[in-house]
């Protein structure tokens, strides 16, 4: 709290949400609590609340992502905000000129998706004081709302993080989600975070992340409480990194058979979209261990929580 | 009512609106009554009503159709719902994965447009119980809201369907609208439904549809109360089905001269967009018999009716 | 007021906003006053007001322009209207059929952007009496809301127009904005309006516009109160009109050095997007004389004013 943090205001409250890095366990827990307050008793619906009535939220997407955009749009509308969707060709104008112009239109919040790492930070650093910025994925760097919806899903099923063993499987190297997940899991006090991947898909600094490394799937998921499967993005796999998709699938694809190595009540997560039969078999994706669709549901609540907290409205739990 | 119908809930109330097939005269009449309650005294405006406040309606279009999408969007906003527009490349993901993901975002209704017959039924069959599905056109199969706005237009001008003679002219074979219109006209008790088309543009089962077939335009429209002109879709006409557009126009294009064969107060309808000078002359399209723009207006009221009924709100008439 | 004007209703109130041409100083001043009433005390925010609740405003763009579309969309939402964004390929259907169809959907206002001069007038002339039309730029003809936001910016900084010297620099020939600005400045009683451009970028009728012509930048801006820089649109510059971009920049690009010729407190304006280093140096664009981002802000207020006045709601100042 003493360290200046671009993401917090002078009172230590959430101002921007750019990365999990530097967030205390208390603040992450508060986000989870506020998000939970938006989910109904059935955990299956969210109600429309007037928290951001009169605010204009701009989905500023320099990279197409209908799923993420839709989730933020639904969350904003559930908070009664007005939403502006902008898909911008990043070559068309400088990031700063685009930001300055939109800011001048009295917009209150930017949800930024960009192919370059650091884009959301750049915008937050240059934004007017009254504006909040939410990172909806920047390059290989960070995707913090995705990580937080995963945390909410885990907490919903497993309770406290202390005592949990959680495995992340797949292309850690290129995954902005994995980076954010590892930071969040560690900050929330998870006993053991495991990364399972071929050596070529692990970042060089993997050993410094406070995790355990595995190159064998069944060994890695042994006795874990939750397995997070990462999608294999084919455009990154050509040539050198992997022998073949088939080979990857044989070694790291999660099947019902392999899943038996995990705890009996282990949950299986995936941020989507799933390459069925590659990193995840349909029997598992649609089976009783899968909580994949709940992740999508909790995504709305997490985005509502972060948006309302950044705008100074604490959500249902605090009113 | 005794037969299980995917479109009705346990109480026999509208749940999904996928096809006219299987709907009773009573239910179709109720839809028309509710729609009429949304039109103002002048029949020329609709008021904004708070019936679907807090609901999120998703226009899920796998096929581009700005006119239909706009009509549904206006109808949804008139009901105070939040609207999400999604244009989805149907090759990008499986229909079911797309549905599951969107459902998990707490959306309440899907308005589905798809190039494949049966797509809306498929979605309705797999949707969560709390979700309603409206068919906005699937392949050659069905376009029920278009048919119902035509029924509202006819009833507005001609009153009861009993005693009416109504002609549908043009490419019945490829028309999802014609199929829906025939079912609705018959269910509503129309005395005589006539199809007028060259043999090559009639479906093989035309004789079983409870209609009279004509291959001569003036003979077919003799003494009718309403004429529904179908657009000639050029992409379906290449090669074998028609000698030429000119030939079609000469034989089946409606002109002021030919229109004299119909009743003096006959109305002329067209779902749009019009190929002026092909299936319909501009003098008729813009003339005193034309009710084409009223059809567009009634489209909003019909879509409001179907949407509000499917969500369990009966509209102004019932409140 | 005695002359019939397509833009005014029978009571002389604003009905459409198509061009500055023919507007009295009183009406232009009223637009500025209403716009000012929407800006907060800090002049930096606008509040959401319920003036157009229940109205549907359609952004009907036949030409892509995300900045202008966004500004109108934010303005409409600030007035609590429902907004429909339509990008229409102008080759797809006749303008009149498109208009008739949308009108029939009970839309209340069209904001029209079109590559052809006169398109907004055409639509206004054929629109139903209850519909208002706002010109968001048509061909080389007119862009009246842009001109009015410039007027609001000038008045905000300089007060009354009487006694002001204002220079417009650049491609007057192709600029719909310049035409609208000259009309507005003259109607508002500006002492002296100067056009600064090479002969090839001045319209043939420039001498009849009630302006002073200059072909030398520093001479032209001597002792002016405000400088409006026009963007150099490269697609119009190929071949004959200009020797080269470098040559243009050397002669007409505004630098800090050249700016010294103007009054010390002169403001620098630009409608955007800026070609930095071509018509305007970054030191000036981002310097203390620049009011470019304020122009963007005032754009929201001007559009709110025009929209609410055209719909018969006079804005905060009159309530």
pLDDT tens string A268-298 = 999 988 999 999 999 999 999 999 999 999 9
- Chains that contact B by 3+ CB pairs under 8 Å? A, C
Minimum Cα–Cα distance from B87: chain A residue:
A66
Percentage of residues in chain C having pLDDT higher than 90 = 70
Question: Within this chain, do residues A181 and A248 fall inside the same structural domain, yes or no?
Answer: yes
CB contact under 8 A, B294 and C104: yes
In contact, C32 and C149? CB cutoff 8 Å: no
Size of interface B-C (CB pairs under 8 A): 46
Lowest mean pLDDT among B291-300, C94-103, C110-119: C94-103
Point out the residue among C88, C93, C106 whose CB comes nearest to the CB of B300. C106
Alpha helices (H) in C159-211, listed in sequence order: 176-187
Over 90: is that where the pLDDT of C3 sits? no
Q: What is the mean pLDDT of residues A240-253?
A: 84
**Complex prediction ipTM:** 0.88
Torsion C212-C218-C222-C228 (CA) sign: positive
Q: What is the DSSP letter of C318?
A: G
The predicted structure's pLDDT at residue C237: 64
In total, how many domains does chain A have?
2
CB contact under 8 A, A104 and C297: yes
Residues of B within 8 A of C86 (CB-CB) are: 66, 70
Residue B115 to chain A, least CA–CA distance (Å) = 20
In contact, B18 and B135? CB cutoff 8 Å: yes
Over 60: is that where the pLDDT of C319 sits? no
Map residue C193 onto helix, strand or coil.
Answer: strand
The predicted structure's pLDDT at residue B94: 78
Q: What is the mean pLDDT of residues C258-275?
A: 95
Alpha helices (H) in chain A, listed in sequence order: 25-38, 66-78, 95-104, 119-126, 144-158, 176-187, 217-221, 245-252, 256-259, 282-285, 292-310
In contact, A117 and A141? CB cutoff 8 Å: yes
Point out the residue among A82, A93, A101 whose CB comes nearest to the CB of C77. A82
Question: Within this chain, do residues A126 and A153 fall inside the same structural domain, yes or no?
Answer: no
B225 at A interface, C-beta within 8 A: no
Over 60: is that where the pLDDT of A315 sits? no
CB contact under 8 A, B106 and A46: yes
In contact, C279 and C306? CB cutoff 8 Å: no
Question: Within this chain, do residues A203 and A261 fall inside the same structural domain, yes or no?
Answer: yes
Question: Within this chain, do residues C111 and C51 fall inside the same structural domain, yes or no?
Answer: yes
pLDDT confidence tier of residue B235, bands split at 50, 70 and 90: low
Distance of alpha carbon A116 from alpha carbon A139, whole angstroms: 4
- Position with higher pLDDT, C244 vs C188: C188
CB contact under 8 A, A74 and B56: yes
CB contact under 8 A, B88 and A67: no
Residues in contact with B40: Cβ distance below 8 Å, sequence separation at least 6, in sequence order? B46, B47
Question: Within this chain, do residues A47 and A86 fall inside the same structural domain, yes or no?
Answer: yes
* Containing structural domain, residue A111: 25-143+299-318
Question: Within this chain, do residues B138 and B275 fall inside the same structural domain, yes or no?
Answer: no
Question: Within this chain, do residues B311 and B262 fall inside the same structural domain, yes or no?
Answer: no
Over 80: is that where the pLDDT of B251 sits? yes
Q: What is the DSSP letter of B230?
A: P
Residues 97-126 of B with CB under 8 A from A: 97, 100-107
pLDDT confidence tier of residue C234, bands split at 50, 70 and 90: confident
Tokens of A222: 């042994």
Token match 């103007």: residue?
C262
Over 90: is that where the pLDDT of A141 sits? no
Does residue A4 fall inside a structural domain? no
Lowest mean pLDDT among A7-21, A303-317, C165-179: A303-317
Size of chain C in residues: 319
Minimum Cα–Cα distance from B100: chain A residue:
A293
Does residue A16 fall inside a structural domain? no
pLDDT confidence tier of residue B240, bands split at 50, 70 and 90: low
Question: Within this chain, do residues C188 and C115 fall inside the same structural domain, yes or no?
Answer: no
Q: What is the DSSP letter of B215?
A: S
Question: Within this chain, do residues A111 and A187 fall inside the same structural domain, yes or no?
Answer: no
Over 70: is that where the pLDDT of B119 sits? yes
Residues of B within 8 A of A274 (CB-CB) are: 97
Does residue B41 fall inside a structural domain? yes
Over 70: is that where the pLDDT of C44 sits? no
Does residue A109 fall inside a structural domain? yes
Over 60: is that where the pLDDT of B1 sits? no
Provide the 10 A C-beta neighbour count for residue C20: 26
Question: Within this chain, do residues B307 and B178 fall inside the same structural domain, yes or no?
Answer: no
Does residue A12 fall inside a structural domain? no
Residues of A within 8 A of C74 (CB-CB) are: 56, 82, 84, 105-107
pLDDT confidence tier of residue B114, bands split at 50, 70 and 90: very high
Tell me the pLDDT tens digit for each residue of A158-207: 999 999 999 999 999 988 899 999 999 999 999 999 999 999 999 988 88
Q: CATH no. for residue A305?
A: 3.40.50.1370
A93 at C interface, C-beta within 8 A: yes
Does residue A17 fall inside a structural domain? no
Question: Within this chain, do residues A251 and A266 fall inside the same structural domain, yes or no?
Answer: yes
**Best A105, A127, A130 residue to mutate vs chain C (most C CBs within 10 Å):** A105
Token match 């309808």: residue?
B269
Sheet containing B132-138, strands listed edge to edge, beginning at the edge strand earlier in sequence: B82-87, B56-61, B109-114, B132-138
CB contact under 8 A, B105 and A70: yes
Apex CA B159: angle with CA B158 and CA B160, to 5°? 115
Does residue A6 fall inside a structural domain? no
The predicted structure's pLDDT at residue C95: 82
A35 at B interface, C-beta within 8 A: no
Q: What is the mean pLDDT of residues C191-202?
A: 94
Query: CA C15 → CA A313, B15, B42, distances in Å?
Result: 40, 43, 22
The predicted structure's pLDDT at residue C94: 78
> Mean pLDDT, chain A, as a whole number?
90
Does residue B308 fall inside a structural domain? yes
Residue B140 to chain C, least CA–CA distance (Å) = 23
Question: Within this chain, do residues A38 and A166 fall inside the same structural domain, yes or no?
Answer: no
């Amino acid at each position: 709290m003493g360290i200046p943090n671009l993401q917090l205001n002078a009172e230590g409250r959430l101002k921007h949400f750019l990365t999990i890095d530097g967030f205390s366990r208390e603040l992450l827990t508060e986000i989870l609590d506020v998000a939970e307050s938006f989910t109904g008793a059935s955990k299956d619906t969210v109600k429309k609340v007037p928290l951001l009535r009169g605010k204009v939220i701009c989905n500023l997407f320099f990279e197409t992502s209908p799923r993420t955009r839709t989730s933020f749009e639904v969350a904003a509308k559930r908070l009664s905000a007005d939403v502006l969707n902008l898909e911008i060709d990043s070559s068309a104008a400088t990031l700063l000129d685009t930001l300055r112009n939109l800011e001048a239109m009295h917009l209150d919040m930017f949800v930024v998706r960009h192919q370059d790492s650091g884009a959301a930070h750049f915008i937050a650093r240059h934004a007017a004081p009254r504006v909040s910025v939410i990172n909806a994925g920047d390059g290989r760097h960070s995707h913090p709302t995705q990580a937080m919806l995963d945390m909410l899903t885990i907490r919903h099923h497993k309770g406290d993080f202390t005592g949990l063993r959680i495995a992340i499987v797949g292309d850690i190297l290129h995954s902005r989600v994995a980076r954010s997940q590892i930071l969040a899991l560690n900050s929330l006090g998870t006993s053991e975070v495991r990364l399972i991947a071929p050596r070529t898909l692990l970042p060089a600094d993997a050993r410094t992340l406070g995790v355990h490394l595995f190159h064998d799937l069944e060994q890695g998921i042994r006795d874990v409480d939750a397995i997070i499967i990462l999608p294999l993005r084919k455009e990154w796999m050509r040539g050198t990194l992997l022998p073949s998709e088939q080979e990857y699938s044989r070694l790291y694809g999660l099947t019902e058979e392999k899943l038996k190595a995990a705890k009996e009540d282990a949950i299986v997560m995936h941020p989507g979209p799933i390459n069925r039969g590659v990193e995840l078999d349909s029997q598992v994706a649609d089976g009783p261990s899968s909580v994949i669709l709940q992740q999508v549901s909790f995504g709305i609540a997490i985005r509502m929580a972060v948006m309302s907290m950044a705008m100074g409205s604490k959500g249902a739990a605090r009113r």
